[in-house]
């Protein structure tokens, strides 16, 4: 009996140690895979205040990096978060894409402001390098409002999926090819453009948070 007790004690210790190792290994494996997996996602945005910054901030929670595109404009500073300069080729391409988008939007382009024109051209980079657009913006007469509308329309012209959240209607919309229809909370694509209005409210912030939560739940 005296010889059996040490063996039982040793076996039990080995069992407990093995159990602890399994728990620790599973935890770190899950954490590592989560972090590596989320780095497969990239947000293509503009670094502006409002929706852009919220998409960026919430993305940090899930280790999602953001490319903030910008075009240097004489006499003005780039956004604080700016980290990806738009190439000369993309700037030239943007001019053509904006003219095509304007066939639908029926606005004034180019404007009399180089600063505004460069912001609009920056939008092209967000769209070009993304596989879907997720935006916080209002819709009026089946057209997205504000500067965000240019990015959305260029995405539609490329037949890219677009997902728009309207704070006034408190729901998500997607373009079905002929009109905007309501949809459930969408799920992010690997290369998404998280953009939207500078004047974002609490509903818009919660909508962005909900998208990340649904994607990485």
HEC letters along 59-107: HHHCCCCEEEEECCCCCCCCCCCCCEECCHHHHHHHHHHHHHHHHHHCC
| Token pair for 100 | 């095509």
User: Which pLDDT score, from 0 to 100, does residue 81 have?
Assistant: 78
Cα–Cα distance for residue pair 63/208, rounded to 1 Å: 15
Q: Are 189 and 198 in contact (CB under 8 A)?
A: no
The dihedral region occupied by 93, where left means phi > 0, alpha psi between -120 and 50, and beta the remainder, is alpha
In whole angstroms, how far apart are CA 66 and each of 7, 63, 84, 167, 174? 57, 10, 10, 24, 23
| Token pair for 101 | 């988008």
Ranges of residues in the chain whose predicted pLDDT is under 50: 16, 22-37
**Torsion angle, alpha carbons of 122, 43, 187, 171, to 10:** -50
Q: Are 183 and 210 in contact (CB under 8 A)?
A: no
User: Which pLDDT score, from 0 to 100, does residue 20 have?
Assistant: 57
User: Which pLDDT score, from 0 to 100, does residue 23 have?
Assistant: 45
For tokens 């990485």, name the residue: 216
For domain 41-215, which architecture applies? 3-Layer(aba) Sandwich (3.40)
Helix H or strand E segment including 44: strand 42-45
User: Which pLDDT score, from 0 to 100, does residue 13 have?
Assistant: 58
Cα–Cα distance for residue pair 46/55, rounded to 1 Å: 10
CA 76 to chain centre: 26
User: Which pLDDT score, from 0 to 100, does residue 19 have?
Assistant: 52
């Amino acid at each position: 009996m005296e010889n059996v007790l040490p063996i039982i004690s040793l076996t039990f210790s080995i069992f407990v140690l093995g159990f602890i190792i399994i728990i620790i290994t599973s935890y770190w494996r899950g954490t590592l895979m989560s972090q590596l997996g989320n780095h497969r996602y990239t947000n293509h945005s503009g670094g502006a205040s409002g929706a852009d910054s919220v998409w960026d901030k919430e993305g940090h929670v899930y280790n999602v990096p953001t490319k903030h595109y910008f075009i240097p404009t004489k006499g003005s500073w780039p956004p604080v978060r700016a980290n990806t300069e738009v190439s000369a080729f993309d700037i030239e391409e943007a001019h053509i894409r904006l003219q095509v988008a304007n066939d639908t939007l029926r606005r004034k382009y180019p404007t009399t402001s180089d600063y505004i024109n460069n912001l609009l051209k920056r939008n092209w980079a967000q769209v070009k390098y993304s596989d879907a657009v997720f935006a916080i913006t209002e819709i009026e007469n089946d057209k997205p409002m504000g500067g965000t509308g240019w990015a959305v329309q260029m995405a539609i012209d490329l037949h890219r999926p677009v997902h728009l959240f309207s704070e006034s209607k408190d729901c998500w919309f997607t373009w079905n090819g002929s009109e905007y229809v309501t949809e459930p909370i969408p799920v992010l694509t690997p290369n998404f453009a998280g953009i939207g209005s500078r004047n974002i409210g609490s509903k818009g912030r919660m909508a962005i948070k909900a998208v990340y939560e649904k994607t990485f739940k």
